[in-house]
Amino acid sequence: MSDLTNAATSAPRVTVIGTGYLGATHAICMAVLGFDVLGVDVAEDKVDRLNAGEVPFFEPGLPELLTKALDSGRLRFTTDYAEAGAFGDVHFLCVGTPQKPGSNAADLTYVESAVSALAPHLNRRSLIAGKSTVPVGTAARLAGLVRELAPSDEVELAWNPEFLREGFAVEDTLRPDRLVFGVASAWAEEQLRAAFGPVIENGTPVVVTDLPTAELVKVAANSFLATKISYINAMAEVCEATGADVQQLAQALSYDTRIGGRFLRPGLGFGGGCLPKDIRAFAHRAEELGVGQAVAFLHEVDAINRRRRERTVDLVRELAGGSLSGVRVAALGAAFKPDSDDVRDAPALDVARMLQEGGAIVRVYDPQAVENARRAYPDLEYATSTFDAARDADVVVLLTEWNEFREVDPNALADVVAHRRVVDGRHALHAEGYRAAGWEYRALGRP
């Protein structure tokens, strides 16, 4: 990444508020790019772990970069907002916007409290750049809050949505597909261009726009991705009723360059801390704005996605002979996707929970997410390896497509299970290999 490094003396000093998946990655990468960075979080334990060189979550490549950034002396973390206010020229806002309990709306508590904590310490010209995913109109409202609370009247607010994918967070931060700058002045644009200098020099396209458009870009992008996944999963439902094969259908569609094959992988569907809550919050916000009908299809996208989870449970039940009662199930995967330890709205754990509620004895194994899964679902049983989970199982169900699971030898696995029955919830296993080893193999949308 040396070609990206830029330690220009005129570079703005950067704070990153919130050190979760997004903020920690952003802070570390900005320091690696040559900026002086201060990460801020209210959680003291997180700040201590990061200052000690420990990334508090699983993200490939990030621990090495954290070490590099700390060694450079350009990165540290604090809980002190006064220090952040004094330090930063550009303050990136990276706190979470989860789904509000009991509603489809986004919970803006963390965004509001971060701005309220930071603004009173802004005594000089500086920029707050929001990266969190927020309902359109939030930035304008926060700008009002900043005007009210900041001692300097030269503090501006911009929106710079973040598109990073977990598992590819480093690459997506250092070499994003695009940068979007929602700004209210040429000065704010200049600040953001300076803060992303090395990334822009690397050829990244920049879209400069207003605040509401920048806010909308993010939810529009995630809604499109979710729709694409639900589209192919809707085709899987039709395939199930007709004996057609959705995997071959998806392959055939993917060669049409107008459609493309990415995000067209059928299976158990989408989960995680972004796609599900973002489409719900978007639909909710659109209803508030009186344009709910324009994105009403997102409710169907959500419903298709939920049905995949139920259908996966049905397949396990069918393979087990019609009842889940007392059936031993090996559940392979807990994270919402491979190369992550994130279990927020994880389809895998939802399926494991439903199987257990149906009377099955479920043992879950995941290469990285067992600890988080145990915290979220303490009543499930957890195993220490694929073979540990599969021992004496009546049905094996693959729920997250880690490479480790793809590479399992179906003959070796056959030796430890009680019955050779496998449900491939992610179309990730080699069906013929399993069948040749004597397994009954079933996958959503395939004969």
**How many residues bind ligand UDX, per CB under 6 A?**
20
Give the one residue of 182, 267, 333, 367 binding ligand UDX; rule: CB under 6 A: 267
Does the footprint of ligand UDX cover residue 229 (CB under 6 A)?
A: yes
Give the one residue of 263, 287, 314, 431 binding ligand UDX; rule: CB under 6 A: 263
For tokens 């959500």, what's the residue? 302
* CB 417, min distance to ligand UDX, A: 25
> What's the token pair of residue 362?
């479920």
* CB 337, min distance to ligand UDX, A: 4
* CB 122, min distance to ligand UDX, A: 27
Q: Quote the crossing angle between the two packed helices 246-254 and 211-242, to the nearest 10°.
A: 130
Q: Taking Cα atoms as reference points, which of 288, 339, 304, 318 lies closest to residue 395?
A: 318
Task: Quote the strand ranges of 75-135, DSSP E.
Answer: 75-78, 90-93, 126-130
> What's the token pair of residue 318?
């069918």
Give the one residue of 17, 108, 150, 225 binding ligand UDX; rule: CB under 6 A: 225
Residues in the chain: 447
Q: Which is nearer to ligand UDX, 271 or 410 (CB)?
A: 271
Helical spans, DSSP H, in 255-369: 275-288, 297-319, 347-357
Sequence-separated (6 or more) residues with CB below 8 Å from residue 403: 338
Does the footprint of ligand UDX cover residue 234 (CB under 6 A)?
A: no
**Which stretch, 12-20, 157-165, 200-208, 370-378, contacts ligand UDX (CB under 6 A)?**
157-165
Q: Taking Cα atoms as reference points, which of 121, 126, 60 lies closest to residue 92?
A: 126
Catalytic annotation present for 239: no
Q: Give the x-and-dash track for 270-299 against ligand UDX (CB under 6 A).
A: xxx-xx------------------------
**Which stretch, 91-99, 156-164, 317-325, 405-413, contacts ligand UDX (CB under 6 A)?**
156-164
Residues 87-146 that bind ligand UDX (CB under 6 A): none
Contact 20, 62 (CB under 8 A): no
- In degrees rounded to 5, what are phi and psi of residue 17? -95, 120
Q: Which residues pair with 77 in a beta bridge?
A: 39
Q: Which is nearer to ligand UDX, 70 or 373 (CB)?
A: 373
Give the one residue of 89, 166, 302, 424 binding ligand UDX; rule: CB under 6 A: 166
Does the footprint of ligand UDX cover residue 269 (CB under 6 A)?
A: yes
Q: Which of 29, 94, 239, 274 is catalytic?
A: 274
Q: How far apart are CA 427 and CA 404, in angstroms?
A: 14
Q: Which is nearer to ligand UDX, 126 or 223 (CB)?
A: 223
Contact 442, 423 (CB under 8 A): yes
Interface with ligand UDX (CB under 6 A): 162-166, 222, 225, 229, 263-265, 267, 269-272, 274-275, 336-337
